[in-house]
Structure 1
């Protein structure tokens, strides 16, 4: 599947894996405030390899339906970080990725907080918080 934007000069088609990879790389850069997770809330630990682990693709979903792009990102927020500020950083990063590719902003961007890191140990406190930004 590819995301297509049309204008008077033609069409731009970008494979969704390219967009997912850009988003994953941005999220890995925010390791001070969040950790990518799967849909069930299990954190995906960063591995010291130069390539992106296929497990990371479980943390980001890019879908297109009727010309509208939807992005979902599953995360665990680090303890002591404000969830809404973290979500705003994620929204801005995703919108910047789309702008870099000259694509329209996604119709919806969802940050799905599936947990928070514990205070005393590495235990994950389960949460089920969805923060959504809708673009017209």
Structure 2
């Protein structure tokens, strides 16, 4: 019974589609290269750095939530396809949710392993202790 429930959970998770594991925020985004113009010290808990990047033929500035970069260091950031007017909050491309293609297969593999572990555990509980001969 536990194996059937595990298989059912895995099938339902697969049918829910890409929205289950490693999704983006729903807005179209692109990755651009930016230069850190005002680095932040990591002793500040709310450290924010200022970055400058080129997009749509113009130079833009954004606020990067992070610290530890050097002045004029190049970083990859995720920005929206449609850039709003005014200040822009950006994220590092490598850490932004939905930017990695490994999330869905890895999530499914972990789900299958947890279902298998649950099935083995329930089998051992139902079987009971073995008597030494």
Name the TM-score class by shorter chain: under 0.3
Identify, as 1 or 2, the structure richer in helix: 2
**TM-score normalized by structure 1?**
0.24
The structure number with the bigger radius of gyration is: 2
Of structures 1 and 2, the one scoring higher in RCO (CA 8 A, sep 6+) is: 2
**TM-score normalized by structure 2?**
0.25
Identify, as 1 or 2, the structure richer in strand: 1
